[in-house]
């Protein structure tokens, strides 16, 4: 028993101060890491950076600083850290190669959060999907489609393609085409379309709406109707105009041509037997 006690005392004498130093480095290091991480978070918050990016940068900063603290702690115990760092580097390279696609999505997520081509609540078309943005995360973006489906799109697909943000501006233009028959009065049809637009209070006066003959088609004279509305009113006005034009044209006796086919029947005498 005395021999074991002497061994423990000798070991504490030889390595005690190293252990105390390592514990002090770890304890103080964690405090310093917490302070620095808090400073980074406050600076980003003051700069009005997106909360998702703030959390990510703060977490990354904490992870990197704690790695240095752990290496310093191990070094204080007398362990050779050169090989340890080399192992970490090799492991990091292997993980990076294995997670190449994930890292691409990660980098794309950082770009989306930094440059903000869209925000939560915007209606966008990106990555081959259209929907309302519910969340922009580091690796993917969550969209809600008009029929209430949840679609998770990798950020790499979004950044690598075209992004259409339908909610980016306060106003949008509705593009409609209506055809009338060649026997109908063009002036009357134009005045009727202009009156329909004027009667709808949701249609903006500035910019002015456009009503003009755009094409003399095979079976119809086509008008382009392009009113401007607030983005939130786009679909409501769109559907209402389609219904209102049809009802008004019917009441005014203005025809809307539709494709027709004439079938001619020819009788052929059967050959004599």
Average pLDDT, consecutive stretches of 10 residues, N- to C-terminus, the chain (273 residues) = 60 64 83 88 78 72 83 73 63 56 76 83 91 86 92 90 91 95 94 95 93 92 96 94 95 86 68 62
CATH code: domain of residue 89: 1.10.287.1260
Do residue 179 and residue 214 come from a single domain?
A: yes
Asked whether residue 194 is domain-assigned, the answer is yes
Q: Which residue is associated with the tokens 């389609």?
A: 242
Residues 6+ apart with CB under 8 A from 116: 50
At 40 the pLDDT is: 84
At 245 the pLDDT is: 96
The tokens describing 54, both together, are: 């703030």
CA pair distance 33, 62, nearest whole angstrom: 6
Residues 6+ apart with CB under 8 A from 215: 221, 222
At 175 the pLDDT is: 96
Do residue 199 and residue 222 come from a single domain?
A: yes
DSSP symbol at 30: H
Q: Which residues pair with 180 in a beta bridge?
A: 221
Do residue 51 and residue 76 come from a single domain?
A: yes
Do residue 124 and residue 93 come from a single domain?
A: no
Residue among 112, 110, 107, 109 nearest 122 (CA): 112
At 50 the pLDDT is: 66
Number of helical H runs and strand E runs in the chain = 7, 10
User: Please, is 163 exposed, middle or buried when counting C-beta atoms within 10 Å of its C-beta (0-12, 13-18, 19+)?
Assistant: middle
Do residue 122 and residue 193 come from a single domain?
A: no
Asked whether residue 108 is domain-assigned, the answer is no
User: What phi and psi values does residue 182 have, to the nearest 5 degrees?
Assistant: -65, -20
CA pair distance 267, 264, nearest whole angstrom: 10
Cis before 207? omega within 30: yes
Q: Which of 127, 142, 165 represents a domain boundary (last residue)? A: 165
Residue among 252, 241, 262 nearest 180 (CA): 252
Do residue 142 and residue 67 come from a single domain?
A: no
The tokens describing 177, both together, are: 């085409």
CATH code: domain of residue 148: 2.30.30.60
At 19 the pLDDT is: 73
Domain count, the chain: 3
At 135 the pLDDT is: 85
User: Please, is 238 exposed, middle or buried when counting C-beta atoms within 10 Å of its C-beta (0-12, 13-18, 19+)?
Assistant: middle
Q: How many CB atoms lie within 10 A of CB 204?
A: 15
Expressed as residue numbers, the domain containing 146 is 117-165
CATH code: domain of residue 179: 3.30.70.100
At 185 the pLDDT is: 94
């Amino acid at each position: 028993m005395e021999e074991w006690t002497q061994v423990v005392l000798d070991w504490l004498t030889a390595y005690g101060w190293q252990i105390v130093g390592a514990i002090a480095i770890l304890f103080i290091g964690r405090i310093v890491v917490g302070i620095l991480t808090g400073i980074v978070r406050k600076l980003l918050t003051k700069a009005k950076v997106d909360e998702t990016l703030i959390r990510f940068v703060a977490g990354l900063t904490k992870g990197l600083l704690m790695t240095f603290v752990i290496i310093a702690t191990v070094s204080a115990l007398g362990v050779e850290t050169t090989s340890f760092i080399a192992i970490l580097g090799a492991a990091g390279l292997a993980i990076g190669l294995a997670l190449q696609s994930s890292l691409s999505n990660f980098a794309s997520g950082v770009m989306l959060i930094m440059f903000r081509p869209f925000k939560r609540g915007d209606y966008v078309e990106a990555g081959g999907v259209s929907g309302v943005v519910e969340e922009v995360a580091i690796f993917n973006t969550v969209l809600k489609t008009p029929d209430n489906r949840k679609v998770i799109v990798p950020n790499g697909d979004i950044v690598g393609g075209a992004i259409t943000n339908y909610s980016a501006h306060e106003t949008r233009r509705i593009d409609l085409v209506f055809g009338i028959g060649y026997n109908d009065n063009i002036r009357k049809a134009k005045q009727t379309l202009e009156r329909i637009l004027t009667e709808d209070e949701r249609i903006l006066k500035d910019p002015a709406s456009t009503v003009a003959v755009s094409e003399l088609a095979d079976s119809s004279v086509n008008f382009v109707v392009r009113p401007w509305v607030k983005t939130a009113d786009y679909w409501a006005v769109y559907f209402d105009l389609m219904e209102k034009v049809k009802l008004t044209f019917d009441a005014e006796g203005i025809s809307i041509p539709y494709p027709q086919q004439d079938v001619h029947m020819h009788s052929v005498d059967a050959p004599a037997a």
